[in-house]
Amino acid sequence: MGTRQIAVKTASLRVRAGRGSVAVAAVPGLPPVAPEPPVRVAPAEPKALALGPVPARPASPVAEPAAEPEPAAPEASEAPEVPAAAAVVAPVIPARPTHPPTVPAPAPDPAPTPAPAPTPAPGQAIEPLFTGAPGLNWAGPGDHWSRAWALDTLGEPAAPAVPAPVPEGLGAAAGQPPTARDIELIRATLTVIEPLADRATAHFYALIFVHHPEVRALFPAAMDVQRDRLFRSLLMAARSADDPAGLTEYLTRLGRGHRKYGTLTGHYGPVGECLVAALEKYCGSHWDADTELAWRRVYGLIAKVMTDAAEEAAKSSPPWWQAEVVGHQAVTSEIAVLTLRPDQAYPYRAGQYATLETPWWPRVWRHFSFATAPRPDGLITLHVKAVPAGWVSNALVNRAAPGDVLRLGPAAGSMRLDHGRGADLVCLGGGTGIAPITALVEEVAEHGAAGRSVDVFYGARRQEELYGLETLRGLAGRHPWLTVHPVLSEQQAVGLLAGELPDAVSRYGSWAGRDAFLSGPPAMVRRAKQALARAGVTVDRIHHDLDAL
């Protein structure tokens, strides 16, 4: 398949102004089906709701996506005291089969297929829901937003990639690997550009859209976050230049993830020329022939690693997955638990996250961590907090409903357990950051603790915000190697620790020899890293995905 993708003209897709905007029955190309009542979960009662025992699941082999950061939990209004913490109530979803699902590959030429039964029998294969509408929610060639910009050329077959011309005087030298001197020049350039990063990146994108308007539809309408991502990526590449293995891993992940945007191999040459032109403009007297040669060499390396990674990923996985919302539960006024059913098998590991796009904000992707280890029924659970000015998070919490269709990019993230090490763990989860921590605990339970112990510190401001506490306590009741420490920063309660989460961890003394996993608001993660380092945890054993934000 390569990185070239077939442009599919989508049928008219109507998004109604209420909850549950994109139902399966509205998918173009599928025969009409009788409407079914949406699967909704009754609102939580004011009192604490406890989960029943969660049966252990067998291990599922899996393969090995600027995000919307989650701030600290906001202050809650006055409310009656809630005994313990409100637990997450399992949404009404199809029963789990006893065997992992087998998902047939879609036909080369998609054709309308009957809608699958909503509740597959145990062991029954889960049919892809959207094989008859591959263009649903598509961001790129032929979508509604592209046509609004009159970019009809996007619907035409992509032209063969033509290498960008190399200025006279550079010649074959630009195709050589970067040298140590090149890396010094790159870092010096970024130091000069950093105070002007906003203007430089804005000029870079302006050059792309003026000279190559056919790629405009691959980007969101609002470009502020996108501009920040570009400069962060350049900084990351420059800082990792002395670590070829780390740089390759970072660029490989970036190349795989760019497939979901519709990025093609032929885009890299023009982008590189626009980048060089923007850097030259804003570097002023600091720009010379040696600096340009260094940037061309480094960019050539970046483009090669990313395109090679995209081509390799295209052999075994799609650029994105469609996922139907089958459960939506409000656990607090600002937090919802979403259960999704992908249209085909979605590989991930506990502790990782997915990039997600909604039909209400095309081309705006945000990161959300998986709240469970991979499940035999293929369903995915996410915890989402509606943050101020968060377009995607507010849409998922306040607008999404069963029947809506979202789009998922490939899983990514470095918070993965090494079961071969068998080291004891200390895990910190603040707010909805408890989601990947719970998934990691489930994975330990599925693989067997093998003598390791796990301490989980779960922090929030007020007791009612510890919505996942009962789930963790249920796991601790079944597994003696797990200890759960709930922490409240603005409230005191019997049996719960008081204070900020990093301080509570520090009070327990040394954590030397442990592997640490951190998830939550960025400020909490940064403070927790410092606290754990003082408590004896070496930097290489502290795992988090803060750099992905």
User: For the domain that residue 475 is a member of, what is the CATH number?
Assistant: 3.40.50.80
In terms of domains, do 158 and 304 share one?
A: yes
Q: Which of 413, 442, 466 is the last residue of a domain?
A: 413
Share of the chain above pLDDT 90, in %: 46
Residue 131 counted as domain residue: no
pLDDT over threshold 90, residue 68: no
Helix (H, G, I), strand (E, B) or coil at 192: helix
Predicted pLDDT of residue 159: 41
Query: With 60 as the cut, is the pLDDT of residue 144 above it?
Result: no
**313, 331, 360: which is the final residue of a domain?**
313
In whole angstroms, what is the distance from residue 123 CA to residue 60 CA? 15
Query: CA 279 → CA 66, 177, 193, 195, 316, distances in Å?
Result: 22, 20, 8, 13, 37
pLDDT at 130 over 70: no
Both tokens of residue 145? Answer: 């937003």
Of 38, 28, 13, the residue nearest 118 (C-alpha): 38
Mean pLDDT of the chain: 75
| 517 and 494 in a common domain | yes
Quote the pLDDT of residue 161.
40
Look up the pTM and report it. 0.67
State residue 288's pLDDT score: 94
CA 463 to chain centroid, in Å, comes to: 28
By CB neighbour count within 10 A (0-12 exposed, 13-18 middle, 19+ buried), where does 239 fall? middle
pLDDT over threshold 70, residue 540: yes
Q: What is the CATH number of the domain that holds 233?
A: 1.10.490.10
Handedness of CA 94, 96, 97, 102 (dihedral sign): positive
Q: Which of 50-54, 289-293, 299-303, 343-347 has the lowest mean pLDDT?
A: 50-54
| Cβ–Cβ under 8 Å, residues 242 and 183 | yes
For residue 132, is pLDDT > 90?
Answer: no
pLDDT at 157 over 90: no
Got the DSSP string for 99-148?
S----PPPPSS----PPPPSSPPTT-----S-TT-TTTT--STT-HHHHH
347 and 215 in a common domain: no
Q: What is the separation, in whole angstroms, between the first and last Cα of the chain?
A: 30
Chosen domain end from 274, 289, 313: 313
In a shared domain, residues 155 and 297: yes
Give pLDDT, residue 546.
83
Structure token pair of residue 166:
């190399």
pLDDT of residue 123 exceeding 70: no
Is 92 among the domain residues?
no
CATH classification at residue 357: 2.40.30.10
**Residue-level pLDDT at 342:** 96
Between 166 and 159, whose confidence is greater? 166
Phi and psi based region of residue 505 (left: phi greater than 0; alpha: psi -120 to 50; beta: remaining) = alpha
Q: 333 in a domain, yes or no?
A: yes
On whether residue 6 sits in a domain, the answer given is: no
CA distance 124 to 101: 7
> Looking at the structure, do residues 162 and 301 belong to the same domain, yes or no?
yes
pLDDT tens track for 491-528: 888 889 999 999 999 998 899 999 999 999 999 999 99
pLDDT band (50, 70, 90) for residue 237: confident
Whether the per-residue pLDDT at 357 is higher than 70: the answer is yes
Are 476 and 543 in the same domain?
yes
More confident residue, 324 or 231: 324
Higher pLDDT, 416 or 449: 416
**Choice among 31-35, 291-295, 369-373, 401-405 with the minimum mean pLDDT:** 31-35
> Is residue 253 in a domain?
yes
Q: Are residues 331 and 190 in the same domain?
A: no
pLDDT one-digit tens code per residue, 476-497: 999 999 999 999 998 888 889 9
* Total domains present in the chain: 3
Task: Report the share of the chain in percent with pLDDT over 70.
Answer: 67
Same domain, yes or no, for 179 and 291? yes
What is the mean pLDDT of the segment spanning 268-278?
91
What's the rounded mean pLDDT across residues 67-79? Answer: 38
Q: What integer pLDDT is reported at residue 218 of this predicted model?
A: 81
* pLDDT band with cut points at 50, 70 and 90 for residue 261: confident
Same domain, 436 and 348: no
Dihedral of alpha carbons 166, 167, 168, 170, sign: negative
Residue 486, domain extent: 425-548
Residue 405, pLDDT above cutoff 50:
yes
In a shared domain, residues 335 and 286: no
Judge whether residue 211 has pLDDT over 60: yes
Q: Is residue 286 part of a domain?
A: yes
Res 321: pLDDT: 95
User: Is the residue at 133 inside a domain?
Assistant: no
Residue 174's pLDDT band, with cuts at 50, 70 and 90, is low
Tokens, residue 141: 């060639």
Q: Among 20-29, 214-223, 483-492, which is the least confidently predicted range? A: 20-29
User: Which residues, at least 6 apart from 150, have a Cβ–Cβ distance to it below 8 Å?
Assistant: none
Q: Does some domain include residue 471? A: yes
pLDDT of residue 166: 52
Residues 274 and 361 in one domain: no
- pLDDT tens column, 428-464: 999 999 999 999 999 999 998 888 999 999 999 999 9
Residues 304 and 185 in one domain: yes
Average pLDDT over residues 79-90: 40
Q: Residue 93 — pLDDT band, cuts 50, 70, 90?
A: low
When pLDDT is cut at 50, 70 and 90, the band that residue 538 belongs to is very high
